[in-house]
Structure 1
Amino acid sequence: MGWFSLAIGLVSLCSMMCKVSCIGANWGTQASHPLPPDTVVRLLRENGFQKVKLFDADYGALRALGTSRIEVMVGIPNDMLQSLASSLKAAEKWVAKNVSTHISNNVNIRYVAVGNEPFLQTYNGSFLKTTFPALQNVQSALIKAGLSSQVKVTIPLNADMYESSTGLPSGGDFRADIHDLMLAIVKFLSDNGAPFTVNIYPFISLYTDSNFPVEYAFFDDNATPLNDGGTSYYNMFDANYDTLVWALQKNGYGNLPIIVGEIGWPTDGDRNANLMYAQRFNQGFMSHISGGKGTPMRPVPVDAYLFSLIDEDSKSIDPGNFERHWGIFTYDGLPKYQLNLGTTNSGSSLVPAGNVHYLDRKWCVMKPSANLDDLQVAPSVSYACGLADCTSLGYGTSCGNLDARGNISYALNSYYQRNNQLDRACKFPNLSMVTKTDPTVGNCRFGVMIEPYYGAAERTVGCLQMPLMLVSGLFSFLLTLM
């Protein structure tokens, strides 16, 4: 009885602490000019984040996290699952290099994320046979390293791995085509005291379904509630989360801990990806979970990681142009909007990154004397956008109101900045010139790139090359303005 009372007391204590500290951040590094890791760690600490989720085991990031006391979820990319699944020795080497070494340097690693949404239906089953064996081998490697009580394995999964036969949370179960696999994974997680990790994105539902009720994505209780046997759901997050809870409960694992690995809202690249909606969603989510009341089916503090910390201008835009704009901070560590995380004394103000070093204040733009009918316009814009980032151009985006000359200038400048303002990066024949007058228009920011950070492996900057592809959809939009 004494042990049980102590356990309940510890749970209550953790719940009280989670009311203010159970929010983490995803730190992605797919950027042409990433902020130095030390700068990012300061950004995390100064904004009160006590947890961070990585998508790989970047040495620079992990080294910078040493002695920070920030809890770390280190990631294993999907393209490594095959080797780890087929070789226990490979898993042991990975754990030794990417977990044991860093823990010995005071990095507070608490989780290993094996893969990232490996069962997405768009992957067509590519990782169905390797994810679970990789999970098992990583767990065995942690046991061998003597770390299994400190470091837990998990698999960040997309919410499409469960479904509801009734359209209500209570109808929740795992997707039919992976049901047996999911039960095996869930049992394994439960047996090893590990959590279930799920990524929940109301924005994606709005993006993919024109009939999705907009208000249901937010937390203002303005939506018509979904009634599930007398339980009312006023927002998609609660309903989605509880669909998972029902799926777990239905299969005998109703008490398995759940981590929300990713949740957030992008600010650009789509008509519904804007500052107003992003601020509304993220602040609504923070307020929604701040009381620690959880969801109707699981009224306990929600353990979650915001997606994401910083914009990443090199992410794939296959899912949509919004992919490069999930950050609550811009590429250079500036807050995008007011957000009260409840973690600091700064109230609704996020603390910007400090000591950020920029390139010179100059931009590459279209010459006033250049002609829109010039035959070089089309290939030049296509070339620039193919190798830089033009996702802020398009219908309903932050730069969607630019005229044709503004679109061209934005594209040329994006390429110029991506290439560290090299002189030859602004040598588009008869079209371009360098200016020291900021061409920013309203909310459309013509950025000046930060100085390149060379500490990260396998990154190239300032390299002029031919484009591998043309951004045809965006280019078609630009052509309509010419």
Structure 2
Amino acid sequence: MARGGYLFLLVTIGLLGSYVVDGLGVNWGQISTHVLPPKVVVQMLKDNNISKVKLFEINDATMQGLAGSDIEVMVAIPNYLLNSMTNAKTAKDWVEKNVTKYLTQKPAVNIKYVAVGNEPFLTSYNGSYLNSTYPALKNVQTAINDAGHGDKVKATVPLNADIYMSPSNHYVPSAGYFRPDISTQMSDIAKFLDKNKAPFTINIYPYINLYQNPGFPFDYAFFDGMKFPLMDEKIAYDNSFDAAYDTLVVALEKVGVKNIPIYIGEVGWPTDGDKHANVQLAEKFYRGLLKKLGNNEGTPLRPKQYIEVYLFGLLDEDAKSVDPGNFERHWGLFTQDGQPKFPIDLTGKGRNITLVGAKDVKMLPKKWCVMRSDAKNATLIEETIKYACNYGDCTPIGMGCSCGNLDAAGNASYAYNIYYQTMGQKAGSCGFSGLAEETTKNPSSGNCTFPIRVAPPPTPSPPPASAPGSGTPADEKTQSSQKSSAYYYGPSLLLLLGLEVVASFFF
């Protein structure tokens, strides 16, 4: 064989062997003003050998994009439906429309789990789902079983790590227990999941610990070891992931559930919006996590075990609430338009390689909106920046963030541009009372990117006009479905209509 052919064979074998860590999945959220077409996202998942995905909602476009891909899917029932799922008939109808439908169609969707709610026992919910989550879980699993899918599909409840704790004077995993206000519910849920051979799903966020607690040891959020680990009798905990996981193990054992599989529903590191949210630290976190997972290290209380993990998240989401923090829109391994942010080796081998980005993405034209050089009205500039940032994502211009070093003119330009892009570069959206202008010169510099958004899908041709009085409830249902399509342009239809009115006076 010629030397060139031999080299090609070696490279090919290496590429074919580049699979991800066993059990590794991703969370695919879609709270964005401009979303990628599902087929593009599914191809990106396949290109990176990611074979498991966790959703937060069900829409037909996403499900059809996953159909025939063989990607394992965790579908979700949002929290606002939990109360209704306490009715067995409602749960049965939901399973029929959202599980059976996609399992039996040709090609089928490989649904493996149903997430019943998402972190329903967060303390910030003030007990809103305290009495509905467990009954909903039972009804959904019963409906799955009755539909004949029980051997393949399991219901679970993704929970936040605030469901358990340790005493403040003995803050170690071996002292862990479920929060007193939910201890009965957690015991019931854990035993039910165990009985039905379903996983216990927990979300663990070392970054949040670091963000919320000024005294939290920086190194404890990562996997590189620390000089003074947390000692729990003879066990040394040198990272918060292991400590959080094992605290749950102990809490479960205290309610009589000892060997249930524990899945990590969410874990990740954001890349913008805070001084500790950047690509360098995200790369550091994922490198340590994936090495740990790839080596099947397990944790001190469950050593040498593989842990099923869903990374959070797949893509940035620019329309998410920033109530938890400005980092909330920047959890993606990929930018909103599907481009990788930093080197990451999903095999856990630590190689300096980059993920495969989204292909054939249709972007808006290469145009930006910036502040005019002759703009001088400081009061009006401040007002227009606030206005623009109310509708566009200005979190990158915060202190310590990727665009935090811009001057006043740069901040204004960033705000004007993000509004312009969010509005789809619509005529009149780069006016700002004469303070802004369009340009074809990219104003990005260094680590600060002035983004261009994904182009919206083509507007479908209107259907033929119906004869007067011919409308039916079925027609209304179709129209409603179109309004809630996965492809939406701007924060919402009503918001855009409101902006149309405001713009006519403002610009």
| TM-score where L is the length of structure 2 | 0.86
How many Å apart are 1:194 and its aligned residue? 0.9
Q: Classify 1:171/1:443 alpha carbon distance in 2 versus 1 (closer, same or farther; 3 Å).
A: same
Q: Does 1:309 align with 2:309?
A: no
8 Å contact from structure 2 (residues 119, 158) kept in 1:
yes
Deviations 1:241-293 (A, max 9, x none): 00001111122111011100000000001111111111110111001111112
2:119 to 97, 117, 132: 117
Q: Does 1:142 align with 2:144?
A: yes
Q: Does 1:180 align with 2:213?
A: no
8 Å contact from structure 2 (residues 291, 349) kept in 1:
no
Deviations 1:104-147 (A, max 9, x none): 13211010000000000011111101111111111111111111
Q: How does 1:397-416 map to 2 (within 5 A)?
A: 397-416=401-420
Q: SS state of the match for residue 21, structure 1?
A: coil
1:262 corresponds to: 266
8 Å contact from structure 1 (residues 21, 343) kept in 2:
no
8 Å contact from structure 2 (residues 95, 144) kept in 1:
yes
Task: Name the % identity.
Answer: 49
Q: SS state of the match for residue 498, structure 2?
A: coil
CA distance, structure 2, for counterparts of residue 219 and residue 65 of structure 1: 34
Q: Does 1:224 align with 2:225?
A: no
CA distance, structure 2, for counterparts of residue 391 and residue 280 of structure 1: 22
Q: Report the residue type matching 1:319 in the other structure.
A: P
1:159 corresponds to: 161
RMSD of Structure 2 on Structure 1 (CA): 1.9
1:335 to 340, 362, 367: 340
8 Å contact from structure 1 (residues 48, 344) kept in 2:
no
Deviations 1:29-87 (A, max 9, x none): 101111000011111111111110000112111111111111110011101111111x2
Q: Report the residue type matching 1:144 in the other structure.
A: D
Q: SS state of the match for residue 324, structure 2?
A: coil
Q: Does 1:375 align with 2:403?
A: no
8 Å contact from structure 2 (residues 369, 430) kept in 1:
yes
Deviations 1:431-453 (A, max 9, x none): 01000000002111001111114
Tell me whether 335-344 or 206-215 shows the greater mean CA deviation. Answer: 335-344
CA distance, structure 2, for counterparts of residue 110 and residue 259 of structure 1: 13
CA distance, structure 2, for counterparts of residue 219 and residue 464 of structure 1: 48
Q: SS state of the match for residue 82, structure 2?
A: helix
2:256 to 235, 240, 252: 252
Deviations 1:292-331 (A, max 9, x none): 1211111210110000000000111111110000001000
8 Å contact from structure 1 (residues 365, 408) kept in 2:
yes
8 Å contact from structure 1 (residues 388, 418) kept in 2:
yes
1:102 corresponds to: 102
How many Å apart are 1:20 and its aligned residue? 2.8
CA distance, structure 2, for counterparts of residue 205 and residue 321 of structure 1: 15
How many Å apart are 1:386 and its aligned residue? 0.5
1:6 corresponds to: none
CA distance, structure 1, for counterparts of residue 319 and residue 50 of structure 2: 25
CA distance, structure 2, for counterparts of residue 126 and residue 398 of structure 1: 37
How many Å apart are 1:346 and its aligned residue? 8.8
Q: How does 1:18-417 map to 2 (within 5 A)?
A: 20-85=21-86, 87-105=87-105, 106-165=108-167, 166-299=170-303, 300-342=305-347, 348-371=353-376, 373-417=377-421
CA distance, structure 1, for counterparts of residue 89 and residue 402 of structure 2: 49
How many Å apart are 1:459 and its aligned residue? 5.5
8 Å contact from structure 1 (residues 75, 113) kept in 2:
yes
1:419 corresponds to: 423
2:485 to 424, 435, 457: 457
CA distance, structure 1, for counterparts of residue 398 and residue 268 of structure 2: 22
Q: SS state of the match for residue 309, structure 2?
A: strand
8 Å contact from structure 1 (residues 33, 453) kept in 2:
no
CA distance, structure 1, for counterparts of residue 191 and residue 405 of structure 2: 53
CA distance, structure 2, for counterparts of residue 336 and residue 464 of structure 1: 34
Task: Count residues with an aligned counterpart.
Answer: 449
Q: SS state of the match for residue 305, structure 1?
A: strand
8 Å contact from structure 2 (residues 59, 486) kept in 1:
no
How many Å apart are 1:344 and its aligned residue? 11
Q: Report the residue type matching 1:282 in the other structure.
A: Y
Q: SS state of the match for residue 465, structure 1?
A: helix
Deviations 1:328-351 (A, max 9, x none): 100011100000001899962211
Q: SS state of the match for residue 83, structure 2?
A: helix
Q: SS state of the match for residue 376, structure 1?
A: helix
CA distance, structure 1, for counterparts of residue 327 and residue 179 of structure 2: 27
| TM-score where L is the length of structure 1 | 0.90
Q: Which runs of 5+ in 1 are unaligned?
A: 1-17, 468-482
How many Å apart are 1:227 and its aligned residue? 1.1
CA distance, structure 2, for counterparts of residue 343 and residue 212 of structure 1: 27
CA distance, structure 1, for counterparts of residue 382 and residue 393 of structure 2: 16
- Which structure has the larger Rg over C-alpha atoms? 2
How many Å apart are 1:465 and its aligned residue? 3.2
Q: SS state of the match for residue 245, structure 2?
A: helix
Deviations 1:132-189 (A, max 9, x none): 1111111111111111111001000000000112210101111111111100111111
CA distance, structure 2, for counterparts of residue 19 and residue 311 of structure 1: 21
8 Å contact from structure 1 (residues 223, 235) kept in 2:
no
